[in-house]
């Protein structure tokens, strides 16, 4: 970890050791204010990113993730390229067991674009889903 976390756009992702590497658990990041611009028109593009990740040995540090996303602000790139670049960079930094990035791009020319990209570590298989019984909310009143 750097002594002074970055406070300007940066493509450097910092990591720390997974505090529970013996367990599969989901870390979810929500990035609702992503911006870059269209490489053809120069107009701004806006997206909401959701990152669902099952870490292996390393986790991504939040401040560096924030600065990383900020670094795209002045870049022109297609939605598909940006989404896959972010996936590749996080995989390179953390080598997760699983990661899925969902980018929901705001309307442009009457069209919404959603890009979903994922990576699965070779040999990793998720444990079977456990469905628990649903119970209605209790208010304490009969």
> Active-site positions?
38, 45
Structure tokens at 117: 């990209």
The DSSP code sequence of 2-41 is: -SS---S--SPPPEEE-S-TTS--EEEEEEEEEEEE-TTT
Report residue 86 CA to chain centroid gap: 8
Instruction: Answer whether 27's CB lies under 8 Å from 100's CB.
Output: no
Residues 6+ apart with CB under 8 A from 83: 49, 101, 103, 115, 116, 117
């Amino acid at each position: 970890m750097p002594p002074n976390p970055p406070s300007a756009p940066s493509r450097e992702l910092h990591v720390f050791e997974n505090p529970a590497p013996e367990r599969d658990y989901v870390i979810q990041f929500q990035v609702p204010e992503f911006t870059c611009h269209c490489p053809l028109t120069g107009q701004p593009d806006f997206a909401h990113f959701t990152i669902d990740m099952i870490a292996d040995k390393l986790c991504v540090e939040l401040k560096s993730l924030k600065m990383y996303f900020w670094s795209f602000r002045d870049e022109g790139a297609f939605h598909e390229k940006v989404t896959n670049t972010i996936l590749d960079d996080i995989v390179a930094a953390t080598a997760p067991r699983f990661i899925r990035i969902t980018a929901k791009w705001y309307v442009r020319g009457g069209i919404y674009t959603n890009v979903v990209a994922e990576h699965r570590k070779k040999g990793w298989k998720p444990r079977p889903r456990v469905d628990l019984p649903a119970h209605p909310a209790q208010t304490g009143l009969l």
